[in-house]
A and B are shown apart, each in its own frame.
Chain A
Amino acid sequence: MQNFLQILVSGISVGMIYGVIAFGYQLTFATSKTLNFGQGEALTLGALVGFSVVTALIGMGASPLLAYLLSLPLVLAFGLAQGSAVEWLGVRQAMKTKSEAGWIMSTIALGIIFKNMAENIWGKDPLKFPSPLPENPISLGGVNIRPMEIAIVLGALAMMLAVELFNRRSIYGKAVVATSNDRDAAGLMGINTSLVITFSYALSSLSAALAGVLVAPVTLTGAQMGAALGLKAFAVAIIGGLSSGLGVVVGGLILGITESLTGFYVDTGYKDVPGLILLLLVLSFKPAGLFGKTAIKKV
């Protein structure tokens, strides 16, 4: 039982990260029916910007925790700017010309550009991100957890709750929801839908950047770190369903937990298999995702 809990905990913390990145996919898909395929790179950049700010602050004498907290607003602001840039450069033109695939190519291209930029600025070697919390595990009912793993789960939940609250309570959030429901109708009601879409891209990169600084202390930071995570999150978005914020979080948890459980109870060599089987099953039986709403596309 104790082992089961231990594995469950590590599955949850991995799954939460998948969930946050996939949440970013969901944000832009809801408003514009497009995705940022460079989401993994947005995570990389967020983590690397965080790395630079944190090391600079520690150099000025701040404690790791203080430096980390101080760096968060900067990282989040950087995420907003980076996401807006992606929408401006990559997506807007494609949507204007009603191109079906233009945004796919342009977001992938931007992702590659961002990765190369990161390699040039921060080098190609993985860097050690100073951990804001003690690295010694704490024991909760016989289950050992690193404090950073708890921070990952709480940080991810807080960010997603904040976005959901914003969408439900504020007038701007209502504009986002309206655009998601029916872009043309929202436009006719006087909502600046293209601004809403830019905003959703900004939020999406913000969530990726946050995911970046959350995982960075437990993994290594480097230009390559986003690629594998971005891809996993894509599978999560498909399993959970791109139209539901709750869906991608649950999808992330499902993938993270199945990976860990299979690794422990079946064989560590087959860790990735059940997740992919699940992906295929979902695609064949519930293509909109476990929590997705099926919509009929009128042409």
Chain B
Amino acid sequence: MKKTWLFAAVATLALAAPAFAQQGIKIGLSGPFTGGSAAMGVSMRDGVKLAVQEINKAGGVLGKQIILVERDDEAKNELGVQIAQELINKENVVATVGFINTGVSLASQRFYQEAEIPVMNNVATGTLVTQQFKAPDHKANYVFRNAANDSIQSAMIAQTVKDKGFTKPAIIADSTNYGQLGRADLEKALAERGIKPVAVEKFNIGDTDMTAQALRAKEAGADVVLTYAIGPELAQTVNAVVKLGWKVPVMGSWTLSMASFIDAAGKNGEGVLMPQTFIQMPSTPKRKAFIEAYQAAYKVERIPSPVSAAQGYDSMLILAAAINQAKSTDGRKIREALENLSTKIEGVVTTYDKPFSATDHEAITANIPVLGTVKDGRVVPADPKDLEGEKALRVKPKA
């Protein structure tokens, strides 16, 4: 009796599985759900899932349901490469969204490029990400992004340095692709404004004592500390600055909004400044709806990484619109649709009106991010006026 039951169950499953696969459209999702970047990866994934639920509820794309194929790349380049090949060759995804880490993104997306499958980078910020396969060296570029890239972020940081009248910045960055590419962008942006950093320091992932770096910056007479690193090490950096009894403003890339930084740095992290494409505040109706949906779905009050969640959500909306417009799951047609989107997409970060063109694969422009700061353990706008009235919704200028 028991055996028959089991047999029936297995048979049903075996029949159901391929039928299900035929009905759905498979989208890959690659990001770090474990390790130091997990807060960003998990928020991004949850944002994407939220969008998929909404799209599927409204009937899916091309009359089919979207099926997400999630893979944890652990922020490791080699694992990202493996996952890319698995998603392309074994899972036959029509497109992939994700990538938190610039290194993983740069290493993995060449496989998508070769297979002519579009990739939507929703968090990785390395300036190089969308330029790896750009024209004229390549006929078509399959890499898109809806995150504020490092040249936007570093320009914003450098401009703030200048506006606030600082003249002697010190840069402290980690030794990863992210930290070092960001540092180079930052040095360039400062040079364009006639500012030369008085100290450029470096540390490794996993380092626990940043006294030497902080002390060198202090001795060089720095009047502001600029950072390019991720959460836990950023916390060690501000802890070292505070330990030295050094009262200096700290500014850096958007990772200063990571929950692991805010929690580990505690009150030492209050007041740091960073560019943000999204701050967890209901400044537009869409943002309000998104925050409420996220809180209800994942039972949290504070989104671990609001920027990642919002950009993850938006990336899926843009991709779904492109598939609908392409009326096909063919990679080439989706890319063409992305480069020439005719529908206006109301996202969380901004409203996307022709976000991409054949030559421009960046949906986020310099006018979109605002400066955020940490206050009472939360990220808030440094200047509340930045998110009020007309300024709340910032859109990409028409080309």
Partner-B contacts on A (CB < 8 A)? 3, 6-7, 10, 13-14, 119, 124-126, 128, 135, 137, 139, 144-146, 215, 218-220, 224, 227-228, 260, 263-264, 267-269, 271-272
B243 contacts A264, C-beta separation under 8 Å: no
**How far is B74's CA from A119's CA once the two chains are assembled, in angstroms?**
13
Asked if B223 lies at the interface with its beta carbon under 8 angstroms from chain A, I say no
Chain B at the A interface: mostly helix, strand, loop or mixed? helix
**How far is B174's CA from A271's CA once the two chains are assembled, in angstroms?**
13
Chain A nearest CB from B332 CB (Å) reads: 38
B38 contacts A125, C-beta separation under 8 Å: yes
Closest residue on chain A to residue B32 by CB atoms? A124
Closest residue on chain B to residue A137 by CB atoms? B243
Chain A positions within 8 Å of B33 at CB level: 124
**How far is B240's CA from A218's CA once the two chains are assembled, in angstroms?**
10
B264 contacts A137, C-beta separation under 8 Å: no
Cross-interface CB contact of B215 among A146, A264, A272, cutoff 8 Å: A264
CB proximity to A under 8 Å, residues B206-226: 206, 208-209, 211-213, 215-216, 219
B263 contacts A128, C-beta separation under 8 Å: yes
Q: Which of B19-27, B121-129, B160-168, B197-205 contacts A (4 or more CB under 8 A)?
A: B197-205
Q: A10-B211, A14-B209 are in contact. Are A269 and B202 (CB under 8 A)?
A: yes
**How far is B212's CA from A272's CA once the two chains are assembled, in angstroms?**
13
Asked if B35 lies at the interface with its beta carbon under 8 angstroms from chain A, I say yes
**How far is B175's CA from A268's CA once the two chains are assembled, in angstroms?**
10
Mark each residue of chain B from 262 to 300: 1 if its CB lies under 8 Å from any CB of chain A, else 0: 011010100000000000000000000000000000000
Closest residue on chain A to residue B180 by CB atoms? A269
Chain B positions within 8 Å of A263 at CB level: 212-213, 216
Count residues on chain B whose CB falls below 8 Å from chain A CBs.
34
B212 contacts A124, C-beta separation under 8 Å: no
Task: Give me 7 other A-B pairs in contact (C-beta within 8 A), A6-B215, A135-B266 excluded.
Answer: A10-B212, A13-B209, A124-B35, A137-B242, A219-B236, A269-B202, A271-B204
B245 contacts A144, C-beta separation under 8 Å: yes
**How far is B326's CA from A87's CA once the two chains are assembled, in angstroms?**
63
Chain A positions within 8 Å of B236 at CB level: 219
Chain A positions within 8 Å of B263 at CB level: 128
Q: A125-B260, A139-B245, A220-B260 are in contact. Are A268 and B208 (CB under 8 A)?
A: no
Chain B positions within 8 Å of A260 at CB level: 209, 211-212
Chain A positions within 8 Å of B245 at CB level: 137, 139, 144
Cross-interface CB contact of B34 among A124, A146, A228, cutoff 8 Å: A124
Mark each residue of chain B from 247 to 272: 1 if its CB lies under 8 Å from any CB of chain A, else 0: 00000000000001001101010000
- Can you pick out 17 interface pairs between chain A and chain B where the beta carbons lie within 8 Å of each other? A14-B208, A125-B34, A128-B264, A128-B266, A137-B244, A139-B245, A144-B243, A144-B244, A144-B245, A145-B243, A260-B212, A263-B212, A263-B213, A268-B201, A268-B203, A268-B216, A271-B212
Cross-interface CB contact of B175 among A14, A128, A269, cutoff 8 Å: A269
B244 contacts A272, C-beta separation under 8 Å: no
Asked if B31 lies at the interface with its beta carbon under 8 angstroms from chain A, I say no
Q: A7-B212, A126-B232 are in contact. Are A268 and B202 (CB under 8 A)?
A: yes
Chain A nearest CB from B377 CB (Å) reads: 11
Chain A nearest CB from B355 CB (Å) reads: 32
Cross-interface CB contact of A224 among B35, B39, B213, cutoff 8 Å: B35
A119 contacts B213, C-beta separation under 8 Å: no
Chain A positions within 8 Å of B264 at CB level: 126, 128, 220
Mark each residue of chain B from 177 to 206: 1 if its CB lies under 8 Å from any CB of chain A, else 0: 000000000000000000000000111101
**How far is B260's CA from A6's CA once the two chains are assembled, in angstroms?**
27
Nearest 4 A-B pairs (CB), nearest first? Answer: A263-B212, A124-B34, A10-B211, A264-B212
Chain B positions within 8 Å of A124 at CB level: 33-35, 38
A6 contacts B211, C-beta separation under 8 Å: yes
Chain A nearest CB from B266 CB (Å) reads: 7
Closest residue on chain B to residue A146 by CB atoms? B243
Q: A137-B245, A219-B236, A220-B260 are in contact. Are A125 and B212 (CB under 8 A)?
A: no
A10 contacts B35, C-beta separation under 8 Å: no
Asked if B36 lies at the interface with its beta carbon under 8 angstroms from chain A, I say yes
Chain B positions within 8 Å of A224 at CB level: 35-36, 206
Chain A nearest CB from B135 CB (Å) reads: 36
**How far is B149's CA from A216's CA once the two chains are assembled, in angstroms?**
34
Q: Name, among B201, B215, B245, the residue most crowded by chain A CB atoms within 10 Å (CB to CB).
A: B215
**How far is B200's CA from A267's CA once the two chains are assembled, in angstroms?**
9
Chain B nearest CB from A73 CB (Å) reads: 26
Chain B nearest CB from A28 CB (Å) reads: 25
Q: Name, among A3, A125, A268, the residue most crowded by chain B CB atoms within 10 Å (CB to CB).
A: A268
**How far is B213's CA from A6's CA once the two chains are assembled, in angstroms?**
12
Chain B positions within 8 Å of A6 at CB level: 211, 215, 244
**How far is B209's CA from A13's CA once the two chains are assembled, in angstroms?**
9
Chain B positions within 8 Å of A119 at CB level: 34
